[in-house]
Amino acid sequence: MKQQLNARGIQLLFVPVPPKAAVHAAKLPLTAAAPKGRADAPDAAFYTDLEAQGVPVLDLASDLAGLPEPAFCRQDTHWCTPGIRVAASRIAETLGSRGWLEERARETFAIEERDVTLTGDLWKLLGDTSLAKERVRIGVVGRRREAALTPLEPDPESPVLLLGDSHNLVFHAGGDLHARGAGLPDHLARELGFAVDVVAVRGSGATPARMNLLRRKNALTHKRVVVWCLAARELSESAGGWRPLPVAR
């Protein structure tokens, strides 16, 4: 993937989202003591191998674990606002030294705090409808027109493409993903000062996400960097595997 993108003059940044249980290992009801060091040590070792092969990796484990608030929803698999915001900040910080980014026109986006009630995937799995649903605070990012705040739309001409799984869609795409305008694409846009492009799927961000990228006409036009953000569990539990695919037709 990196070699194919580099051949087109595009950089890759791999951003695996660490497992919720690894980030919050100390809070699990374990019969034994939580493991010393990182609970996802094998993943960390693999990131070191990737870096040695020239693949830039943004490892968010310590950033998420160090937050004063939980990085993940209690009743949903995905991260919540504190986790999303720190991920957006770290991605923007990592991209910040690139010359083409410094030359990009910037815009200041508004943010509006809201409270939403989740019908989380873990809440559904519990099968107990008497259990109170989780309520979380989100930050909706957009352009303010008089009193109304309009969420941002993905920009196909943006130099930054977010590729991956539903960690790029939760609180961004609306519907059963809880809200619009408050996900990783939105907070990353606020950090960068311009909207980003998004190719993300519900499910595996390994092969299916790249298949969607391949299907999209001119998907890599204008792109300078692909931020491949997906659940780290895909490294060991991807149902469809990691098929070799071209990045574009």
Split at pLDDT 50, 70, 90, the class of 103 is confident
Per-residue pLDDT, 102: 82
Per-residue pLDDT, 23: 93
Percent of the chain with pLDDT over 90: 85
Please give the backbone phi and psi of residue 140, each rounded to the nearest 5 degrees, phi first. Answer: -85, 125
Q: Which residues contact 33 (CB under 8 A, 6 or more apart)?
A: none
Per-residue pLDDT, 26: 78
The predicted-structure confidence for 185-231, as pLDDT tens digits, reads as follows 999 999 999 999 999 999 899 999 999 999 999 999 999 999 999 99
Percent of the chain with pLDDT over 70: 98
Split at pLDDT 50, 70, 90, the class of 34 is low
Q: What is the mean pLDDT of residues 123-142?
A: 97
Q: Which residues contact 83 (CB under 8 A, 6 or more apart)?
A: 64, 67, 70, 71, 72
Residue pair 145/165 in contact (Cβ under 8 Å)? The answer is no
Please, what is the angle between helix 184-192 and helix 81-95, to 10°?
Answer: 40
The predicted-structure confidence for 136-150, as pLDDT tens digits, reads as follows 999 999 999 888 999
Gap between the Cα atoms of 35 and 137, Å rounded: 31
Per-residue pLDDT, 8: 97
Cβ-in-10-Å burial (0-12, 13-18, 19+) of 187 comes to buried
pLDDT at 36 over 90: no
Please choose, from the candidates 27, 26, 62, 29, the residue with its C-alpha nearest in 3D space to the C-alpha of residue 43.
Answer: 62
Triad 183, 93, 44: Cα angle to 5°: 85
CA distances from 35 to 17, 32, 43, 189, 236 (A): 20, 9, 15, 37, 20
Give residue 115's Cα distance to chain centre.
21
pLDDT at 243 over 80: yes
Nearest 10 degrees: Cα torsion 3, 8, 9, 10? -70
Per-residue pLDDT, 35: 67
Gap between the Cα atoms of 2 and 5, Å rounded: 5
CA distances from 238 to 206, 228, 235 (A): 7, 15, 6
Please give the backbone phi and psi of residue 60, each rounded to the nearest 5 degrees, phi first. Answer: -90, 0
Q: Is the pTM of this model over 0.75?
A: yes
Of the ranges 99-108, 168-177, 195-204, 215-224, which one carries the lowest mean pLDDT score?
99-108
Gap between the Cα atoms of 96 and 101, Å rounded: 7
Per-residue pLDDT, 249: 84
Of the ranges 6-15, 32-41, 93-102, which one carries the lowest mean pLDDT score?
32-41
**Mean per-residue pLDDT of the chain:** 94
